[in-house]
Amino acid sequence: MSYAPDWKPARTMSYNLTLEHQLRADVLVRAAYVGSKGTHLGFNNDVNAPRIFPGSSAIDPDARRPYQDFTLVTQNTSGANSIYNSLQLSVDKRFSHGFTVGANYTFSRSLDWTSFLSDLDTINVINPFDARAYRGVSDFNVPHRFVLNYVWQMPSPGHGLARTLLGGWETSGVWNWQSGFPLDISSGDDNSGTAVGFDQADVVSKPGYTSGSRGNRIAKWFTTESFRSNLPGTFGTVGRNTLIGPGTFNVDFSAIKNFAFKERYRLQYRAEFFNLFNHPLLNNPSTTVNSSQFGRITSARDPRIIQMALKLYF
């Protein structure tokens, strides 16, 4: 394990340009360009990777390493870069008459060589001879995201029992719509013979997404017949993160009731609903060609969760 002789600390530069306009005393609109650029980003490579030639995958990888006295030699190299660009639009209605609301939309794109850096005992590049070969959209790239949120302090009746029961309520909610995360189609086989195990699949026809009922799409999210395991002695022909998984729509809601009694004491009741409508939040499908579940979605995120609490202030 080592660091490259010309290793440099990673550097990130962020920049933005924002325009704001106040439409009314309590309404503000905003448009912003937000970007960032990363340089000297680290990745781990095998500097003693087995040489590749036709039919090499059938030969013991250690027998094809340049330095026969060693097996895998992990080296951290600070040679990668990344770029992020986004358009961010928002409108905010400030707190008035007990009500505030905000809406935000982001259109963005993030590109990099690799989206994570592990410790020095793990290789995290696909092609040990050309780390830049699979520069593509980042693993966390989400092109579209819209968030709507509000807080409402509900009006209270005048006095008496009605005020005790119906007064002091506050509700809030967050609506979130976003496109899916990238899908990276891998072979699942070490046909390159590098002992790294990150081979991409081969593309045999133009890939696309399936249609039909939700059940049909869960069973087969994309055209799995468009891919096959990579040929021996190659790293696969499909680019990194070329497809997108299922998008999400989620609503979180909360209701708060404050009971005031005497001057020093207040009791607060809180109920919170995560995934209020119990909408299926599907995870990405399997993206490994040699898996029996290839193309199938087999899991989802949390269903509706409800939690309640009482808090005494004194």
Going residue by residue through the chain, which has 314 residues, state the pLDDT in tens, using 9 for 90 and above: 788 899 999 999 999 999 999 998 889 999 999 999 999 999 998 999 998 877 666 678 888 899 988 988 999 999 899 999 999 999 999 887 788 999 999 999 999 999 987 776 788 888 888 888 889 999 999 999 999 999 998 887 766 666 666 777 899 999 999 999 999 999 999 998 888 888 999 999 999 999 999 999 999 999 999 999 999 889 999 999 999 999 999 999 999 998 877 777 888 899 999 999 999 999 999 999 999 999 999 999 999 999 999 998 88
At 55-83, the pLDDT tens digits run: 666 678 888 899 988 988 999 999 899 99
- In angstroms, the Cα distances linking 148 to 97, 174, 275 are 19, 6, 14
List of residues 6+ apart from 162 with CB closer than 8 A: none
**Helix/strand/coil for 203:** strand
Give the number of residues written for the chain: 314
Find out whether 193 and 232 touch, Cβ atoms under 8 Å: yes
Surface-to-core class of residue 25, CB atoms within 10 Å of its CB (0-12 exposed, 13-18 middle, 19+ buried)? exposed
- In angstroms, the Cα distances linking 56 to 9, 60, 194, 198 are 36, 8, 9, 16
List of residues 6+ apart from 185 with CB closer than 8 A: 200, 201, 207, 227, 238, 242, 243, 287, 289
Measured CA to CA, the distance from residue 231 to residue 6 in angstroms comes to 35
Computed on alpha carbons and rounded to an integer, the radius of gyration of the chain in Å comes to: 27
pLDDT attached to residue 116: 84
Report the phi/psi class of residue 20: left, alpha or beta, with left for phi > 0 and alpha for psi in -120 to 50. beta
The structural domains of the chain, with segments of one domain joined by +, span 18-36+84-313
CA dihedral 116, 121, 123, 129 (to 10 degrees): 130
**Helix/strand/coil for 58:** helix
Q: What is the pTM of this model?
A: 0.86
